[in-house]
Structure 1
Amino acid sequence: MVMSKEKFMEILEGNRRLTIRTIEAFPEDKLFDYSPVEPLRPYAAMMKEILNVERAFMSGIARDDWEFKDSFSEVSTKAELLTACEKMSGETRDMWSAITEERLAEMMEDPFFGAGQQSHIERLQYALENEIHHRGQGYIYLRMLGIEPPAFYIR
């Protein structure tokens, strides 16, 4: 690995803190209902996707339990979404301790998205890039709503 397991977790956690601040910037009534055009989704829907991908990959890598399901479909308020983010971050930290650098380097066929052979660290990098991508969409939504997004460089 080019970076240590601990450094990668620092990056994941810094990004999640910024994502949480992005959720906090949304007004309650816009978080679950606003999207500028079809087929774009509300930011809360994108956040639920981020959390579902994280749970599926982390559980698969840490426990060899490869199942992708919508674990956050019942989340319907800003407070619940923020709690879900904190809970998922805690679950990730707990599972992270069981994952070795050797396990992160293991290759296997993508179980969910048809991406072919990938290492587990590549899977987690995809999840991180997915979060960053959707957070960028959230920034655009906030600007369209006349709201200044959080400073991206503060993690």
Structure 2
Amino acid sequence: MVLKKDGLLEILEGNRRLTMRVVEAFPEEELFHYAPADKLRPFAEMIKEIMNIESAYIRGIALHVWDFQDSFAAISTKEDLISACVAIREDTRKLWQEVTEETLEVIEKDPFFGPLQSHFSRLQYGLENEIHHRGQGYIYLRTLGIEPPEFFVRD
């Protein structure tokens, strides 16, 4: 079975629902300020990165507008972070209408990270980055004594 455009979106959506439950599990102070080791970032910073990548890639893929910037640096409350996540995903759903199966197969140099890759691969990278950071969020929650959400629940 080959993964189609709508199947990819559903995978992205299921993963985002789980990521948002991890965000919601954090107390606000720890979401923005806690890291279990000096070289690690607070989970909110990872979520901002996830949103920046999603926004940059979906606009580039759907509209051919390639612009990567930190659009969420000023966010400092849990409520604003969650609202921004919802807004970015709403934008993705709207722009998804512009994406075709053929668009996902286009291979070109990545304007942000360099190598040749397909648009599908870009979205896969974004998903893998989200999963990686969500896993860090699980560890952070456990070190805080907070039970993270069940991993297998995606709805």
Indicate the TM-score class for this superposition, using the shorter chain for normalisation: over 0.9
Query: Do residues 105 (structure 1) and 108 (structure 2) align?
Result: no
Q: Number of paired residues?
A: 154
Aligned to 1:4: 4
Structure 2: gaps of 5 or more residues: none
SS in 1 for 2:135: helix
Structure 1: gaps of 5 or more residues: none
TM-score by length of structure 2 reads 0.98
Deviations 1:3-45 (A, max 9, x none): 1100100000010000000000000110000001121100000
Deviations 1:52-111 (A, max 9, x none): 000000000000000100111111100001101110110000000110110000000011
Aligned to 1:43: 43
Cα distance in 1 for residues equivalent to 2:91 and 2:137: 24
RMSD: 0.9
Deviations 1:102-148 (A, max 9, x none): 0000000011112x110000000000000000000000000000000
Report the Cα offset of residue 2 of structure 1. Answer: 2.2
TM-score by length of structure 1 reads 0.98
SS in 1 for 2:65: coil
Aligned to 2:59: 59
Name the amino acid aligned to 2:126: A
Aligned to 1:135: 134
Query: Do residues 76 (structure 1) and 61 (structure 2) align?
Result: no
Identity of aligned residues (%): 59
Runs of 4+ in 1 over 3 A off after TM superposition: none
Name the amino acid aligned to 1:154: V
